Chain A
């Protein structure tokens, strides 16, 4: 559910599929965030683990994410063809058959869950299987095309990797692990709605009921602000639950202030409104001036999540957490 970082213009390329097309089917940029959050969960569990098995656990989570992405791309090939952001992908462009994408997705999903269960533990394998099911079936098939709350509920799939990582290391699911899940879960709506504010025409064309399409841009901007107000305290919370240290407190609070400023600016803007302003022909992500505040928040939201999980991970690797002075 975590969307890709700001994508570049992708021309539609026909012809035979290359190995790169199959790698792209796994959404490698999304996988990078999954890896970071899963590793953070695994390290924060503070349970001694054989390094080889730790690597296998992260590999399984990564391939599970890739498998569910391939299932998503296979199923959504029809609507991806209607949207500028996604029409260059291998399935809508015709380089890979939908059935082949789904076959790859199923194979990777089975591999990741089975190896996780055999090599690590049943709890983490079950959680991984649930995550894949939730993304590829609950979100992709049931929610995405039916409800305006699609990415809110579906965001749970993208939020679970740190919990899977934690379970892989310790076999337990303590409150701090769920706190990491809550952070990503609440982060997803402002992140994704900021993107959909300046791509809503595409979503409308494809019949996907994203928030700006159904409720309008003004309502979406308001809800982004509300979610942001909940998100920032949540992001700071690990500093006071024994999870984060001083560096984490500074990063989450400092970045949180920037996040809120961008959300307030977005709320006060005309982002997503039909202004009559046109983008240049052929410029895939030439965002209208009125919507630049949405693009800014979208870009910063990715940076912010990388920042707080990166700092949390760094603190635990260096042994600098928890924040003993403030507890």
Chain B
């Protein structure tokens, strides 16, 4: 890693927060597509 702040605790905490947000967004995306598919298949 060339980022000099990579091991900085504040930077690590911020990175962890961003990663959690990204993970939640991806899960939400999958859930949305799944639910839309169910609704469409049931004629909604």
Q: Summarize A's interface: helix, strand, loop or mixed.
A: helix
* B5-A52 in contact (CB<8A): no
Do B18 and A52 have beta carbons less than 8 Å apart?
Answer: no
A141, chain B: closest CB distance, angstroms: 27
B36: chain A residues at CB < 8 Å are: 52-53, 56, 115, 118-119
Partner of B35, one of A17, A18, A52, A111: A52
B18 touches A18 (CB 8 A): yes
What is the interface size of chain A, counting residues whose CB is below 8 A from a CB of the partner? 17
Whether A19 pairs with B20 at a CB distance below 8 angstroms is yes
Query: Do residues A16 and B44 form an inter-chain contact, with CB atoms below 8 A?
Result: no
Of all chain A residues, which has the CB nearest B24? A19
B44 touches A50 (CB 8 A): yes
Contacts of B17 in A (CB 8 A): 18-20
Least Cβ–Cβ distance between A187 and chain B, in angstroms:
32
Look across to chain B and name the residue whose beta carbon is closest to the beta carbon of A118: B36
Asked whether A16 and B21 contact (CB < 8 A) given A53-B39, A59-B32, A118-B36, the answer is no
Which residues does chain A contribute within 8 Å of B5, judged by CB atoms?
A: 16
B1 within 8 A of A: no
Decide if A119 touches B40 in the complex (CB within 8 Å): yes
**Closest CB-CB distance, A47 to chain B, in whole Å?**
14
A302 to B23, CA, bound (A): 34
In contact, A16 and B32 (Cβ under 8 angstroms)? no
B32 touches A22 (CB 8 A): no
How far, in angstroms, from A197 to B5 measured CA to CA in the complex?
42
List residues 2-33 of chain B with CB under 8 A from any CB of chain A.
5, 8, 10-11, 14-15, 17-18, 20-21, 29, 32-33
Taking a contact as CB atoms under 8 Å apart, the answer to whether B44 and A19 are in contact is: no
Write out the residue numbers on chain B whose beta carbons fall within 8 Å of the beta carbon of A17.
14, 18
Query: Across the interface, which residues of B come within 8 angstroms of A50, CB to CB?
Result: 39, 44
- A50 vs B35: C-alpha distance in the bound complex, in angstroms? 12
Enumerate A18-41 residues with CB–CB distance to B below 8 Å: 18-20, 22-23
* Interface pairs (15), CB distance under 8 Å: A15-B14, A16-B5, A16-B8, A16-B11, A17-B18, A18-B14, A18-B17, A19-B14, A19-B17, A52-B39, A53-B39, A111-B29, A115-B32, A115-B36, A119-B36
Closest 9 CB pairs of A and B: A16-B14, A50-B44, A19-B21, A19-B17, A16-B11, A18-B14, A119-B36, A52-B39, A19-B18
